[in-house]
Structure 1
Amino acid sequence: MAFDLTKAKALFFDIYATLIDWEAGIYPQLLRLSQKAESQSNCLEDTPESRTKLLRAFAKHDKAVGHEHPTLAYAQVIEEIYARIAKDLGAEFSKEDQQAFGQSIGDWPAFPDTVDAMKVLGKYYKVFVLSNVDNASFERTRTGPLRGGHWDGIYTAEMVGSYKPSPNNYNYVVKRLEEDFSIKKDEMLLVAQSLDIDHISTKALGFQPGVWIARESAAMGGMKDELEEQGLIELGATYATLGDMAEAVEKAFESKRTST
């Protein structure tokens, strides 16, 4: 049976990697850090291999630090990630560099299609944030790279008191949408690039199959074929960009309108 985009009443979004190109914000800073390594083998050139290596190191530590420190503000989480990667590389760093990394969240750029796509999607659904971020950092993102967009609700890790993939975060969005908007669990869809955190979690927790935004350049987020083979994810639809999803949504609702 074909996936019906018109059945959902609400979309909840992972922000960083899906709407915000966090890899573009993270990688240059980690590359500069690697070039301070004492060992020549860890002093990396700007290559696709270096990009993948550094970003996957970030992803590994991101999961670990979020699990170890569920109530730590995300800006401080990524400061700790910076320190751990520096240790892995044998690189010296200053407190100023570490803090600058933590404060860079609000400067990470939006993907070019994001803002226009969100305006389209907001015509057809209630739209919500469910993000591993602290309130202050997301406010900088909302008023900076995502300015001009509208959200019906914003749910951060700071508000929940834990980081995804904790079930608490997903249960929180269900509770809020049911109590505040009378939207049932089977009427809400996840939209996310992250397979290994978001799509695994929503399948395990009994959500409807979500929408995967398969950002071509992504080094983080998990391997689709491997996770599908293990039965860990079930995707309702896949789009290369959020803009492609918005176009498909408009067509689906127009087709439904003209057929009734």
Structure 2
Amino acid sequence: MSEPALTDFKVIIFDCYGTLADWETGIFNALQPLLARFPSSAQWSRKEALLAFTEIEKDLQRKDPGMLYCDLLSNAHAVLAEGLRDNDVPAASLKSLDNHTDFGQSIKDWPIFPDTCDALRDLQKHYKLVILSNVDHNSFASTHAKLSQDTSHPSLYARPLLDANAQWLPQNTPDSRSPFSLILTAQDTGAYKPDPRGMLFALDIIQKQFGIGKEQVLVVAQSLYHDVEPSSKLDVHSVWINRQGACMGLETLGESPKWLKSFETLGEMAEAVKAEKPEA
């Protein structure tokens, strides 16, 4: 049986941070005040800093999947600070290290990849776009406004006050420019990827909300560890956005997770979709 074409699918489930937003730059920039205070970490490369941080983050996600992501970031920053404090002499006072909450709130400053927004508008013509992200509702709001290219109206991109079991359907919000039909976060699913509960939750909602089964769902993500590999295990097709220079989320690269296609940017994928259906 031949492989399906990109346009055979009806829904795209996006990872956000790493795929649509440049979380590596965002995290590395936000770590600078801490890293600069210790002689050892001040010499770390970008890759060394990010890998040290992500191992702490993953450990906390496994231990407490119910923790809001902003709090998890704060706690990960605190663990990293404590580890540096135990192994090095700070170049400044210990009191100045206690900016963990600021780091936890830094998501609003994480940049969007330059190809993302135009690609989302193009892909929106062919698919229902869904977010499944290891984030919390409040932290995603600023990113959502950026992805919608409408940062002047932030209230339109925050999760509405809904019943706890209701779904976040941005396109039901009047005047919203959101490209997404559904937004799901770890706060909704109760699990951090790569825990399969998140993807299973998303597939169930997509079936109930849109009447679309997993055979017509395509996962698009940069992280092999968080998204591509667990999707493959659930027999869900995926596209790997192989962001050049990225170092996070590649733990399973040597295990050859199965992806349908690979592109270096989301913009390249959008062009490939247009090439399959140029009339759309």
Letter in 1 for 2:36: Q
Question: Are the aligned partners of 2:229 and 2:252 in contact in 1 as well (CA < 8 Å)?
Answer: no
Tell me which of 234, 239, 256 is aligned to 1:211: 239
**Which of 123, 126, 134 is the aligned partner of 1:124?**
126
Deviations 1:76-124 (A, max 9, x none): 0000110111122225464762111111112211000000000000000
2:51 aligns with one of 40, 47, 56: 56
The corresponding residue for 2:208 is 179
Q: 1:138 corresponds to which residue? A: 140
In 2: Cα distance, 1:207 partner to 1:94 partner: 46
Q: Distance in 2 between matches of 1:183 and 1:43?
A: 48
Alignment of 1:1-260 (within 5 A): 1=2, 3-37=4-38, 40=39, 42-45=40-43, 50-90=45-85, 92=94, 94=96, 97-144=99-146, 146-148=148-150, 149-208=178-237, 210-222=238-250, 225-228=253-256, 233-254=257-278
Give the number of aligned pairs: 245
Residue segments in structure 2 that go unaligned for 5+ positions in a row: 151-177
Structure 1: gaps of 5 or more residues: none
Q: Distance in 1 between matches of 2:253 and 2:61?
A: 26
Give TM-score scaled by structure 2 length.
0.82
Whole-angstrom distance in 2 between the partners of 1:6 and 1:145: 23
Tell me which stretches of 4 or more aligned residues in structure 1 moved more than 6 Å. none
Q: TM-score, length-normalised on structure 1?
A: 0.89
In 2, Cα distance between the equivalents of 1:153 and 1:81? 29
- The RMSD of aligned alpha carbons is 1.8
Q: How far apart are 1:63 and its partner, in Å?
A: 1.1
Counterpart Cα distance in 1 of 2:83 and 2:46: 16
Alpha-carbon distance between aligned partners in 1 of 2:218 and 2:55, rounded to the nearest angstrom: 26
Letter in structure 1 aligned against 2:181: D
User: What is the aligned-residue identity percentage?
Assistant: 36
Cα distance in 2, alignment partners of residues 158 and 84 from structure 1: 22
How far residue 69 of structure 1 moved from its aligned partner, in angstroms, is 1.2
